[in-house]
């Protein structure tokens, strides 16, 4: 089994955090122009109370959601070779797919086609679809490069040195099958880890946007219904991400970092939104463009990951193709997950 060193895991996490902090910088600037003035009802204390409730509720929902798949894997009936494992993965894939298509992509279209943005620069080209496509292609390239690099390194390690060439030939037939299985297992593990990291990045980008928007809002009537909706939103996203982290078989330290990173992102973004609520204008051209681009990229990542890495990998696999009952159950779980997440969008959660 492949072992990932602590420095590599830590470096990946640090780079992700630095990238996130860099993406946050445009939001900290005061908006220069507004399409419409922001009207506040003056209930600042009531709005702040709802925001503090949202921080606690979303933090709890995110942590519970992402931890459930990791806790369930300790039960023998939920191991990867069991049918229930495929049903849980299908439900999580539906959640991730609906997040990209129903939640994030419409927000990206709304932002980049807003009348507050200069139509001469942004209205003459479908930038939303372009950025979503570019992020999906970039995700595929990153995943292909990472798994290809791992396989090439395995092939180099498998080649015998000059002094051991004859010995390697003698042992080739004895250990050939074992090496083939080990190589396949380690490659699958690397791919699972790449999937988990990219998926978390796509989810976190969207979590930052919705957190800042909620924190910067000053209308209690807007905030109150979003508390429950976003809590369920983060819970279902946590289920999908937690399943991928569980399959990646990280060490405890890496798992703790990824769980904390996901759980704390939205509450921290709400705190940032509270801090900049007096200067942040969600209808400014800068905010709309940055949010639209980030939402487009996030949607492209999540849609690609859901369709290619989560759904196609299992639904087109031999185990599910040879079991009609499992296939029907997985399709139902997929539709159930997508429906639950889509219902949250209808109820106002983004």
Q: How many CB atoms lie within 10 A of CB 8?
A: 11
pTM score: 0.75
Tally of CB atoms within 10 A around 185: 12
Over its C-alpha atoms, the chain yields an Rg (Å, rounded) of: 23
Maximum CA pair distance of the chain?
Answer: 83
Q: What is the pLDDT of residues 219-243, one digit of tens each?
A: 888 788 888 888 988 998 888 898 8
In the 3-class helix/strand/coil scheme, how is 152-210 assigned residue by residue?
HHHHHHHCCCHHHHHHHHHHHHHHHHHHHHHHHHHHHHHHHHHHHHHHHHHHHHHHHHH
For residue 269 the two structure tokens come to 């973004």
Report the percent of the chain where pLDDT is more than 90. 31
What integer pLDDT is reported at residue 81 of this predicted model?
67
pLDDT single digits (tens) 260-304: 999 999 999 999 999 988 888 878 888 889 899 999 999 999 999
Higher pLDDT, 18 or 191: 191
Q: Is the pLDDT of residue 324 over 60?
A: yes
Model confidence over 111-132: pLDDT tens digits?
Answer: 899 888 887 778 788 999 999 9
The CA-based dihedral angle spanning residues 20, 22, 27, 33, taken in that order and rounded to the nearest 10 degrees = -140
What pLDDT is recorded for position 206? 87
In the prediction, which pLDDT does 16 show? 57
- Which 8-state DSSP code applies to residue 77? G
């Amino acid at each position: 089994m492949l072992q990932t060193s602590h420095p590599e895991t830590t470096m990946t996490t640090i780079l992700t955090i630095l990238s996130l902090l860099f993406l946050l910088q445009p939001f900290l600037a005061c908006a220069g122009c507004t399409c419409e003035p922001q009207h506040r009802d003056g209930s600042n204390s009531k709005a702040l109370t709802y925001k503090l409730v949202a921080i606690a509720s979303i933090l709890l929902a995110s942590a519970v959601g992402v931890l459930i798949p990791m806790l369930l894997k300790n039960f023998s009936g939920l191991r990867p070779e069991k049918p229930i494992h495929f049903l849980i993965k299908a439900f999580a894939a539906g959640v991730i797919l609906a997040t990209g298509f129903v939640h994030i992509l419409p927000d990206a279209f709304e932002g980049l086609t807003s009348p507050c943005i200069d139509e001469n620069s942004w209205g003459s080209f479908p930038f939303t679809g372009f950025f979503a496509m570019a992020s999906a292609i970039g995700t595929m390239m990153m995943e292909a490069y990472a798994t290809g690099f791992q396989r090439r390194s395995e092939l180099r390690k498998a080649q015998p040195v000059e002094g051991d060439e004859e010995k390697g030939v003698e042992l080739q037939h004895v250990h050939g099958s074992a090496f083939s299985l080990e190589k396949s297992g380690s490659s699958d593990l690397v791919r699972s880890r790449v999937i988990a990291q990219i998926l978390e990045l796509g989810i976190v980008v969207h979590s930052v946007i919705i957190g800042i928007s909620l924190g910067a809002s000053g209308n209690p009537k807007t905030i109150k219904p979003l508390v429950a909706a976003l809590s369920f939103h983060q819970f279902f996203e946590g289920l999908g991400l937690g399943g991928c982290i569980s399959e990646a078989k990280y060490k405890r330290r890496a798992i703790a970092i990824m769980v904390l990173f996901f759980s704390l992102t939205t509450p921290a973004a709400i705190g940032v939104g509270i801090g900049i609520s007096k200067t942040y204008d969600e209808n400014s051209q800068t905010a709309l463009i940055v949010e639209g681009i980030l939402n487009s990229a996030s949607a492209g990542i999540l849609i690609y990951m859901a369709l290619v890495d989560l759904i196609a990998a299992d639904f087109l696999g031999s185990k599910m193709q040879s079991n009609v009952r499992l296939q029907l159950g997985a399709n139902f779980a997929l539709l159930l997950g997508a429906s639950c997440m889509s219902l949250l969008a209808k109820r106002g959660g983004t």
